[in-house]
Structure 1
Amino acid sequence: MSLMLPSESPTARSVVGVADDLIAALRGESAQLPRAESVVLLLVDGLGAISLRAHAGHARALTSVLTKKDVAYSVFPSTTASALTSILTGVQPGEHGLVGYRVLDRERDVLVNQLSGWESDGIDPERWQPLPTVFERERAQGRPVFAVGVAAYAHSGFSRATLRGAEFIAARTPADRVAAAYDLAERHPGAFVYCYVPEVDKAGHKHGIASPQWVAALEDVDAALAQRVPPGVGVLVTADHGMVDVPAHRQIVLEARDLRGVRHLGGEPRMIHAYVEQGVVADAVAERWRRDLDGVADVATRDEAVASGLFGSVVTDAAASRIGDLLLVPRGIGAVYDGTAADQRSRGMIGQHGGLTPEERQVPMVRLGAFSR
């Protein structure tokens, strides 16, 4: 296998256990956090720890309390569909089954979008992601559980897969959402409140993390987090993944000759799931790609990736069926595109994620309120 595996310590903290830590803190049983009367999990989509530190002057509320130890690692792939589902179910992608951005539904032989395509691609959220969410588990125990987010996401298929059991509260701006989350936590002792803030991720994708627009989005989030935390409320600020900027000259374009034997390209530009034609030996395509893409991208077969633990120690049959026959992960800040596809709009996206770099996988873990050191 040529795939360069992540090198973090086996004891490094993972985003997968964050919700369980917060619930334990409500009971006074967390090894990581002090006891709190209510808790807020504030998720800033796309905010990597490395990019946050690089822009510390624009995020003083966050970075003034950020220590070197306040870091966790996202899952693989480092993408929203996989990581948010892991955070809100407490298991790795190999178990909950959302193993990438776009994956193959082998029963229908079609690619489905696991973030925004639930309705258009005909995916049943409860069948595709059947595991209980943290909201379902805690609500069954009588705990108040809430999800604060953007109104447009209230009834989406992805929300049904990840927020089942929560009472959804919509609010327009980051400041409005943070205020609503704090109010819910204060008014409902023992509550678990999830607050989702997507503006940083959206600015990064469109303009890049080096852009004034990304900095402005970060400043808005930081100002929102400067609000007073109610007494007894513990707040943990984290992210699902970070991001890298991909310049045009680092785009890797696969032409027809490169795609011989390949039926579908799924995933996303920083982590491709490739599905081969019936009767084609995946190992043969893998060897060709390793030779032709030597030095610019890593290649692994499904069996190699599963055996290495990239998707977690448990990989269900359903999850395995969605993993590509081959995985193609660009090195550095490259991104892979299908040069034969009619729709090339994604090549204009600057900020990208999904791969294995520290910039994509390291996320902040900032404590506020009752969790402050």
Structure 2
Amino acid sequence: MSLMLPPESPAARSVVGVADDLFAALRGESAVLPPAESVVLVLVDGLGAIALRGHAGHARTLTAAMAKKDVAHSVFPTTTAAALTSLLTGAWPGEHGLVGYRVLDRSRDVLVNQLTGWGADGLDPLTWQAAPTVFERARADGHPSFAMGVAAYAHSGFTRATLRGADFVAARTPAERVEAAYDLAARHPGAFVYCYLPEVDKAGHKHGVDSPQWIAALEEIDAALALRVPPGVGVLVTSDHGMLDVPVHRQVVLEAEHLEGVRHVGGEPRMLHVYVEPDADAATITDRWRRDLEGLADVGTRAEAVTAGLFGPTVTESAAARIGDVLVVARGNGAIYDGTAADQRGRGMIGQHGGLTPEERQVPLIRLGAFGR
């Protein structure tokens, strides 16, 4: 089966347009948001709309403010490197170039980690991700620009790639980050403030959605967002992607015979970028993987993915070079692993994302403060 996006409503909103909506609200020109003196974008990493509604009793602040239509769609792949960058640049993965978790740097023939491996993998954040950030745009328009986050991320390569232009402010707990974000927005009229909350994503990866740890993280974030929003401040709460649990019996492990002609396996277990050997035929490998993974995954070529618009309406030459020759998207709640890889620690991860299920693609888009209904 060729790769294609699942059908969705023509009115469906994308996380790519969230920043433009906020800038329009600052100008008093938004068609979807009321005017605001300052804006706060709260990003709850890994919180899908379906999971949130399924745990409404543990998130009463968020679900009480969430209307039925308060949903947006993430980008493809539904992974932090791609989706968070789209939120913070207003560009599709095919434009900003972060098209997956691990991708091939063809100039050096090495896989690089686009989330945590910038320094170790020798990536320059200013050139590898060259799209202007929302913070650079805000500064250029005369808006104070701030990013609330975790201290450990303050100087990371991913931060330099996606938060450049913002004054980074660290705080330890979700409540402290939200309170500081609201205070910055109130004290700096016209400000664009970003507040990052990674706790749900971390708990989901380690323990799974619906685990006591995941629920506790959701409750902590919901309590933080119950804080009164200062007058004139518009708050939009969203996520980069959702998540689902992958049980052990849904793990597909590829052994050496499956990987004949394959030079590198990148991406992540729910969406593999497969790079073939220079003398191998990508079409032949695609056909073989379709047979081997029939019913377990959708398999397609780079050209099919680009034509189908999976990475957005435009794919730059540099972004296209990072996309796998063959793409493999796990169906249902499965995941696909390279059984020949030396590091198998990823097989212990319970909550995962990267694919095209509604659980991964649908994210909340909740309005608080001056944006509230």
The two structures have a TM-score, normalised by structure 2, of 0.99
Distance in 2 (alpha carbons) for counterparts of 1:96 and 1:341: 29
Alignment of 1:233-244 (within 5 A): 233-244=233-244
Encode CA deviations 1:273-292: one digit per residue, 9 max, x unaligned. Answer: 00000111101000011111
CA distance in 1, matches of 2:3, 2:160: 34
Aligned residue number for residue 314 of structure 2? 314
Shift of 1:83: 0.5
Deviations 1:262-314 (A, max 9, x none): 00000000100000001111010000111111111110000000010000010
State how far apart, in whole Å, the 1-side matches of 2:4 and 2:37 are. Answer: 43
Map Cα deviations across residues 150-183 of structure 1 (whole Å, 9 max, x no partner): 0111111001100010000000000000000000
- Separation of aligned partners in 1, 2:353 and 2:43: 16
Aligned to 1:14: 14
1:86: which partner in 2?
86
SS in structure 2 opposite 1:258? helix
Give how far 1:4 is off.
4.8
Match of 1:185 in 2: 185
Name the SS for the 1:265 alignment partner. strand
Partner of 2:102: 102
Number of the residue aligned with 1:207? 207
SS in 2 for 1:229: coil
Alignment match, 1:278: 278
Paired residue type of 1:121: D
The CA distance in 2 between the partners of 1:24 and 1:294, in whole Å, is 46
1:29-68 alignment runs, 5 A limit: 29-68=29-68
CA distance in 2, matches of 1:342, 1:80: 24
Q: Distance in 1 between matches of 2:354 and 2:156?
A: 22
Q: Note if contact 2:42-2:196 (Cα within 8 Å) is conserved in structure 1.
A: yes
Preserved contact between residue 39 and residue 234 of structure 1 (Cα < 8 Å): yes
CA deviation map 1:301-335 (0-9, x unaligned)? 00000010000010000000000000001110000
Matched with 2:232 is 232
Question: What corresponds to 2:335 in structure 1?
Answer: 335
Measured in 2, the distance between the counterparts of 1:252 and 1:200 equals 26
Distance 2:115 2:312 in 1: 20
Q: For residue 360 of structure 2, what is the aligned residue in structure 1?
A: 360
Distance, in Å, in 2 between the alignment partners of 1:11 and 1:107 is: 40
Per-residue deviation, 1:342: 1.4
**Aligned counterparts of 1:300 and 1:55: Cα–Cα separation in 2:** 35
| Matches of 1:330 and 1:169, distance apart in 2 | 38
Q: Which residue of 2 aligns with 1:138?
A: 138
**Partner secondary structure for residue 13 of structure 2:** coil
Find the counterpart in structure 1 of residue 125 from structure 2.
125
How far is 1:142 from its partner? 1.6
CA distance in 2, matches of 1:79, 1:169: 24
For the residues of structure 2 that align with 1:171 and 1:290, how far apart are their CA atoms?
Answer: 47
Residue in structure 2 matched with residue 261 of structure 1 by the alignment: 261
Q: Deviation digits for residues 55-110 of structure 1, max 9, x if unmatched?
A: 00000000011111000000000000001110111110000000000000000000
The 8 Å contact of residues 47 and 363 in structure 2, kept in 1 or not, is answered as yes
Instruction: Give the match for residue 77 of structure 2.
Output: 77
**How far apart, in 2, do the equivalents of 1:57 and 1:11 lie?**
29
Distance 2:113 2:151 in 1: 20
Deviations 1:133-154 (A, max 9, x none): 1111110222100000001111
1:246 matched residue in structure 2: 246
Which residue pairs with 1:161 in the alignment?
A: 161
Query: Residue 7 of structure 1: CA displacement?
Result: 1.1
Length-normalised TM-score, structure 1: 0.99
What SS does the corresponding residue of 1:367 show, helix, strand or coil? strand
Q: Which runs of 5+ in 1 are unaligned?
A: none
Secondary structure, aligned partner of 1:257: helix
What SS does the corresponding residue of 2:200 show, helix, strand or coil? helix
How many pairs were matched up?
Answer: 373
Could you say what the CA RMSD is over the residues aligned between the two structures, in angstroms? 0.7
Does structure 1 retain, via aligned residues, the 8 Å contact 2:76–2:311?
A: yes
Q: Equivalents in 2 of 1:276, 1:210: separation in Å?
A: 38
One-letter amino acid of the structure 1 residue matched with residue 3 of structure 2:
L
How far apart in 2 are the matches of 1:334 and 1:37? 45
Question: How far apart, in 2, do the equivalents of 1:215 and 1:209 lie?
Answer: 8
